[in-house]
Amino acid sequence: MSKKNRQIVLASRPQGWVQESNFRLVETDVPALKDGEVLVKNIYLSLDPYMRGRMNATKSYASSVEIGQVMVGGTVGKVEASKNPQFREGDAVLGYFGWQEYGISDGKGLQKLPESKDIPLSTYLGVLGMPGLTAWVGLIEICQPKPGETVVVSAASGAVGSVVGQLAKAHDCCVVGIAGGPQKCNYIVQELGFDQAVDHRAGNLQEDLEKATPNGIDIDFENVGGEVMDTILGRLNTFARIALCGMVSQYNETQPAQFRNFGAMIASRVKMQGFLVGDYQHLWPQAQEELTSLLQAGKLKYRESIAHGVENAPKAFIGMLKGENFGKQLVKLSEE
Amino acid sequence: MSKKNRQIVLASRPQGWVQESNFRLVETDVPALKDGEVLVKNIYLSLDPYMRGRMNATKSYASSVEIGQVMVGGTVGKVEASKNPQFREGDAVLGYFGWQEYGISDGKGLQKLPESKDIPLSTYLGVLGMPGLTAWVGLIEICQPKPGETVVVSAASGAVGSVVGQLAKAHDCCVVGIAGGPQKCNYIVQELGFDQAVDHRAGNLQEDLEKATPNGIDIDFENVGGEVMDTILGRLNTFARIALCGMVSQYNETQPAQFRNFGAMIASRVKMQGFLVGDYQHLWPQAQEELTSLLQAGKLKYRESIAHGVENAPKAFIGMLKGENFGKQLVKLSEE
């Protein structure tokens, strides 16, 4: 009897907020390996806000997931069988197999990972993976922080935001994180070493941000959009830079984005740059080197929220979009 | 008896749309010249959208005009008397004397102009002045156009927009101008050589822009903001650039800016840069050289809307904000 592969496929496109009913669990047979192919048993699946965009039919930077297709996503796993000379059974690999327990690859885009006791496999989906690289590219390459500047990052306890803040501290900036609720706010200051935290759920966003940024804001690493971003616009210093990484507050909105403070873009001569980490592959080695040494020096801390079983991925994904996760959202698909 | 100087001062700050009642005409005596000073009789006053911002008390890139102060603005004129060895009676000069018939300067910031039959004095307030330099900096320095790219410019028949389009043509781009009404649209295509015009008053902005930009938009030189800008956002190509020069549609608005297509900033990895021409003085000589040679080659055409008499400046200014002018808006203050 052949091995079974459980997968989450897109059942329907969401209208506004994603529902669990937009997904469906299916079970298929793992097909026999052909020459050159590798079978990977996935251990961790990464859940990330960009996946919301792939659920829409509308133009996005990457093609949509089609109805009935397996949801996309980064995974780490171990080679279970190989007919490809470059991979051996037991190799740890980083792939892009999506929301499923097994993946088959011809080896292209599959990256062998070093196995070290220092560095857990899951970090290749987190601080050393796409979120970490995204933080590095947006902060270091796009915003070019200078010592003493004030950096604000939204979704600050999240997978990207928490790296942005710790990187900015390593570059001698004053770092203010915006997060939802006292628990996340305490975490970014007390565990991650941010200078200040602003709780966007406390109801005094503008006043609290003013207090936290007495010298204004030089850099905004923007993950959220919406009212949080608008409030930041109103505090920008001359020649401020905005790395536009995500607008998670907008992804489920059907209303237009509204900005009271958009005029600051000209008045303060602001550069705003939308970016995708995939366009900066030439910088990944440099970024990974810096992130790895920060991690090994204990200066790059992280948390993970781990859901268990592929069947729980939809619920965990929706929770993440609502900010219910704490740190990098993963789904554990099998034991290491 | 001393000479009289008629001035327009700010009488009150506008709420929403500027009214003529926000200004007041006053008459003062021209004071006696001190050593080192120059008395200039102004010939032309430039009216520009940025002046609207100076009428507000709120933070802007330059200090507000105070109630009772003379409205600011660029002027060209002739030296009528001089106690400064660097200027002689009859010298043509570019100054920043504002909305008044006479100005006194200690010579700082006063620029002697070459007098040539080729180049009328008023061009130093237009294609060779701030508007021309603004067009050059925003297009060439910020957006870095490449041959074959599609450039869109709003307020296309205006002082800045008309230079942007002609410069972009000189750099072998495909140029689409957005203007209000068939007269301005004909002008930018037939007289200025734009490839396409879109009339934002015709009621089919989105459809018309789609037709005019079959290959999408690579560069947006943004003068207008609001719905026009939002529609442009929806047509941007990957790695598009936006030079944010003005948002004249917003200056009299009390509502927030709304964008349905803001997500394109990330999806298309757009760079948006607010700028002020004053930050780029190191590039002015290079810009002036290119603009002058285009002008002398007949490749930089312009129109002027000329109001007569300082007392008519408020009315002309309000008309310009509403798009009633055609080309560079000037006020003639005295005969040459």
ipTM of the shown complex:
0.84
Nearest C-alpha in A relative to B223: A266
Contact A270 B265 (CB under 8 A): no
| Whole-angstrom distance, CA of residue A194 vs CA of residue A168 | 9
| Whole-angstrom distance, CA of residue B97 vs CA of residue B103 | 6
Contact B271 A273 (CB under 8 A): yes
Which residue of A58, A63, A210, A262 is the best one to mutate when testing the B interface, meaning the one whose CB has the most B CBs within 10 A?
A: A262
Summarize pLDDT for B300-326 with one digit per residue, the tens: 999 999 999 999 999 999 999 988 888
pLDDT band at residue B221 under the 50/70/90 scheme: very high
Q: How far is CA B293 from CA A258, B163, B234, in A?
A: 43, 13, 36
Please give the full DSSP string across A265-332, using - where no structure is assigned: HHHTT-EEEE--GGGGGGGHHHHHHHHHHHHHTT-----EEEEESGGGHHHHHHHHHTT---SEEEEE
Residue A60's pLDDT is: 52
| Whole-angstrom distance, CA of residue A23 vs CA of residue A15 | 13
What angle (nearest 5°) sits at the alpha carbon of residue B277, between those of residues B272 and B278? 130
Task: Tell me which residue in A61, A265, A274 faces B274 most closely, judged by beta carbons.
Answer: A265
End-to-end CA distance of chain A: 24
Residue B114's pLDDT is: 86
Q: Which amino acid is present at A178?
A: I
Contact B274 A257 (CB under 8 A): no
Task: Tell me which residue in B247, B256, B270 faces A266 most closely, judged by beta carbons.
Answer: B247
Residue B27: CB atoms within 10 A of its CB come to 9
- Chain A: give the shortest CA distance to residue B58, in Å: 11
- From chain A, the residues in CB contact with B273 under 8 A are 269-272
Task: Tell me which residue in A59, A225, A267 faces B60 most closely, judged by beta carbons.
Answer: A267
Contact B256 A256 (CB under 8 A): no
Residue B10 predicted with pLDDT over 60? yes
Q: How far is CA A96 from CA A83, A105, A130, A298, B45, in A?
A: 19, 9, 11, 28, 63
- Chain B: give the shortest CA distance to residue A276, in Å: 7
- From chain B, the residues in CB contact with A269 under 8 A are 61, 273-276, 279
pLDDT band at residue B50 under the 50/70/90 scheme: confident
Nearest C-alpha in A relative to B247: A263
End-to-end CA distance of chain B: 24
Nearest C-alpha in A relative to B280: A269
For residues A320 and A49, is the Cβ–Cβ distance under 8 A?
yes
pLDDT band at residue B62 under the 50/70/90 scheme: low
* Neighbouring C-alpha atoms within 13 Å toward the C-beta of A182: 0
pLDDT band at residue B257 under the 50/70/90 scheme: confident
**Domains of chain A and any CATH numbers:** 4-126+303-332 (3.90.180.10), 130-279+289-293 (3.40.50.720)
Task: Tell me which residue in B246, B256, B273 faces A258 most closely, judged by beta carbons.
Answer: B256
Task: Tell me which residue in B244, B258, B260 faces A265 most closely, judged by beta carbons.
Answer: B244
Q: Which amino acid is present at A8?
A: I
Mean pLDDT, all residues of chain B: 93
- Chain A: give the shortest CA distance to residue B216, in Å: 13
- From chain B, the residues in CB contact with A54 under 8 A are none
Tokens found for residue A39: 């079978």
Residue B148: CB atoms within 10 A of its CB come to 10
Size of interface A-B (CB pairs under 8 A): 97
Residue B251's pLDDT is: 64
Contact B268 A230 (CB under 8 A): no
| Whole-angstrom distance, CA of residue A160 vs CA of residue A153 | 9
Residue B253's pLDDT is: 64
Residue B312, C-beta contacts closer than 8 angstroms, at least 6 positions apart: B331
Residue B57's pLDDT is: 85
Q: How far is CA A313 from the centre of its chain?
A: 15
Contact A268 B274 (CB under 8 A): yes
- In three-state form (DSSP H/G/I as H, E/B as E, the rest C), the secondary structure along B136-150 is HHHHHHHHCCCCCCE
- Chain A: give the shortest CA distance to residue B270, in Å: 5
Residue B325's pLDDT is: 85
Residue B248's pLDDT is: 72
Residue A61's pLDDT is: 55
* Neighbouring C-alpha atoms within 13 Å toward the C-beta of A195: 20
Contact B270 A270 (CB under 8 A): no
Bridge partner list, A4: A29
Tens-level pLDDT at each residue, chain A (336 residues): 578 999 999 999 998 899 999 999 999 999 999 999 999 999 999 999 889 989 988 655 567 899 999 999 999 999 999 999 999 999 999 999 999 999 999 999 899 998 777 889 999 999 999 999 999 999 999 999 999 999 999 999 988 999 999 999 999 999 999 999 999 999 999 999 999 999 999 999 999 999 999 999 999 999 999 899 999 999 999 999 999 998 877 666 667 888 999 989 998 999 999 999 999 999 999 999 999 999 999 999 999 999 999 999 999 999 999 888 888 999 999 987
- From chain B, the residues in CB contact with A244 under 8 A are 265-266
Contact A272 B271 (CB under 8 A): yes
Greatest CA separation for chain A: 68
Residue B16's pLDDT is: 84
Interface of A with B (CB under 8 A): 53, 59-61, 225, 230, 238, 244-247, 250, 256-260, 262-276, 279
Summarize pLDDT for B117-157 with one digit per residue, the tens: 788 999 999 999 999 999 999 999 999 999 999 999 999 99
Nearest C-alpha in B relative to A234: B59
